[in-house]
């Protein structure tokens, strides 16, 4: 639950010498199966860590700690049996409210698990609770007008990203090894970048999503997890594929090591809309390009593969989603829904949509057409290397939703200048923590590939992780 954080410290984490240690999920599975630790011990350790971290980070929206400990003592099926996790608070978990980061209504406990929570249960994961997000996931920073922000464990005065911020900080800070996240414009990759995590937005349809996301005019929202290691992400995709597989996509299978094929990599450092990119971010991306070349890949600078209209089209569609929520709130969210309680960003997006509804058919048509453009681009390239975000992580307050809409949206578009394209095309994309800013904060680098080639991204991610191990929050 939300608590006012204590006096900010530069860096916090919960790693300690308990049943979890500093293991990732794959190692925890091995230790549980070997009998070195029990499922109950692991879940109890995760509960204690989550409580401690939440005091500083304000990451938990709702908890079911007692039930999780009881469940951990019962027999479990699934590869991840006994591994603790959290579900983002825009997906239903039976018995917990789905508040979606908003004060506009009071959510009732869900009667049943949503599709995402059912998949997590099938894989054996034990759900400890739900994580906070920005209001409906519209902002890329989990800040609020009347509640404390979700804080970044690498530095409590900086943004934790969004919208899957609560999930990211609990994984980065060591409460759980992986947590559910979803991505409608970068909301897996953005918090991965600013919290030093691996964040894969898989190919559209690869990972099951809740019904509301499947029924969008353009299916921009993709579900997945945030992790601290490439092998945890690969294991999750493998196990999710065993539980559900989209037969229109080539299988990913069990990815456990780098691939052998040398690839044609397009280096894209120009952002959507031609917005400025920080020198520090560019330096990390170019260092990654040089590393890929040393590993034998062919890297070639390439213009951004999107039309000039893309930013406005995507923003119009994003605004349309806000309008749909605000106009259908009483019917969809409850009779106490009050749109006047939304923050300035949600209200501003809805107002934008009202004045531009005439553009919506054109925007949707062009966003759908981006899939064809992507197929043509990847006929000559195997991967795209780019920044995840255009600038280093901002301090809290820069994207505060109590500011005028025009201020916040301009800053958001400037910062989130690379991630939305793959939400429109449905292509896979992964953020990896391959650098550190001058202030000691993680810098994410993004790799994107053609539809269905998630395996290729994971193989290259393994290769980069081996060549340049990721920074660890518990090491100064």
Residues recognised as catalytic:
88, 163, 187
Q: What is the rounded CA–CA span in Å between residue 94 and residue 353?
A: 33
Give the helix ranges, DSSP H, for 334-419. Answer: 344-355, 360-377, 405-415
What's the farthest any 2 CA atoms get from each other in the chain? 62
Count of beta carbons in the 10 Å neighbourhood of residue 338: 11
- DSSP structure string for 47-87: HHHHHHHHHHH--EEEE-HHHHHHHHTS---STTTT-EEEE
Q: Find all residues with CB under 8 Å of 270, minimum gap 6, and list them.
A: 277, 303, 304
Element (H, E) at 182: strand 178-183
Count of beta carbons in the 10 Å neighbourhood of residue 362: 12
Structure tokens at 103: 């004060």
Our separate counts of H helices and E strands in the chain read 16, 13
Alpha-carbon distance values, 239 to 103, 200, 254 (Å):
36, 15, 9
Q: What is the rounded CA–CA span in Å between residue 374 and residue 377?
A: 5
Secondary structure class of 430 (helix, strand, coil): strand
Q: What is the rounded CA–CA span in Å between residue 320 and residue 13?
A: 38
- Is residue 258 within 8 Å of residue 459, measured between CB atoms? yes
Structure tokens at 42: 């692991």
Strands (E), 69-177: 84-88, 126-131, 151-152, 155-159
- DSSP structure string for 184-198: SSSTTHHHHHHHT-E
Q: What is the rounded CA–CA span in Å between residue 301 and residue 426?
A: 23
Q: What is the rounded CA–CA span in Å between residue 136 and residue 91?
A: 11
Q: What is the rounded CA–CA span in Å between residue 461 and residue 472?
A: 17
């Amino acid at each position: 639950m939300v608590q006012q954080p204590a006096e900010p410290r530069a860096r916090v984490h919960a790693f300690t010498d308990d049943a979890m240690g500093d293991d990732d999920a794959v190692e925890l599975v091995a230790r549980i199966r070997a009998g070195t630790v029990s499922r109950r011990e692991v879940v109890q350790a995760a509960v204690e860590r989550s409580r401690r971290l939440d005091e500083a980070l304000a990451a938990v929206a709702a908890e079911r700690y007692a039930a999780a400990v009881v469940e951990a003592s019962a027999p479990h099926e699934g590869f991840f049996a006994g591994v603790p996790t959290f579900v983002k608070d825009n997906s239903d978990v039976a018995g917990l409210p789905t508040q979606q980061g908003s004060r506009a209504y009071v959510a009732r406990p869900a009667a049943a698990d949503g599709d995402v929570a059912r998949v997590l249960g099938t894989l054996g994961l034990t759900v400890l609770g739900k994580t906070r997000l920005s209001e409906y996931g519209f902002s890329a920073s989990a800040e609020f007008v009347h509640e404390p922000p979700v804080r970044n464990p690498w530095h409590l005065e900086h943004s934790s990203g969004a919208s899957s911020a609560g999930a990211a900080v609990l994984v980065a800070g060591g409460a759980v090894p992986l947590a559910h996240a979803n991505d409608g414009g970068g909301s897996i990759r953005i918090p991965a970048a600013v919290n030093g995590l691996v964040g894969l937005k898989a190919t559209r349809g690869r990972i099951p999503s809740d019904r509301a996301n499947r029924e969008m005019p353009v299916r921009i929202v993709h579900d997945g997890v945030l992790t601290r290691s490439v092998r945890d992400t690969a294991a999750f995709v493998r196990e999710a594929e065993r539980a559900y597989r989209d037969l229109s996509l080539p299988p990913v299978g069990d990815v456990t090591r780098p691939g052998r094929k040398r690839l044609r990599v397009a280096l894209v450092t120009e952002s959507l809309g031609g917005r400025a990119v920080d020198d520090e971010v560019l330096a990390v991306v170019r260092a990654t390009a040089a590393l890929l070349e040393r590993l034998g890949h062919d890297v070639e600078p390439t213009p951004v593969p999107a039309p000039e209209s893309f930013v406005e089209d995507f923003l119009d569609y994003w605004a349309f989603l806000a309008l749909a929520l605000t106009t259908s709130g009483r019917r969809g969210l409850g009779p106490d829904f009050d749109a006047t309680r939304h923050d300035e960003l949600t209200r501003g997006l809805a107002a934008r949509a009202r004045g531009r509804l005439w553009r919506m058919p054109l925007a949707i048509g062009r966003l759908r057409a981006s899939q064809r453009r992507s197929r043509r681009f990847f006929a000559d390239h195997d991967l795209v290397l780019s920044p995840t975000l255009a600038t280093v992580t901002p301090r809290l307050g820069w994207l505060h939703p109590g500011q005028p809409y025009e201020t916040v949206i301009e800053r958001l578009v400037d910062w989130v200048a690379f991630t939305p394209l793959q939400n429109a095309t449905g292509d896979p994309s992964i953020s990896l923590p391959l650098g550190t800013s001058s202030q000691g904060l993680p810098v994410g680098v993004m790799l994107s590939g053609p539809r269905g080639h998630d395996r290729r991204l994971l193989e290259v991610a393994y290769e980069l992780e081996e060549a340049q191990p990721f920074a660890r929050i518990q090491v100064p």
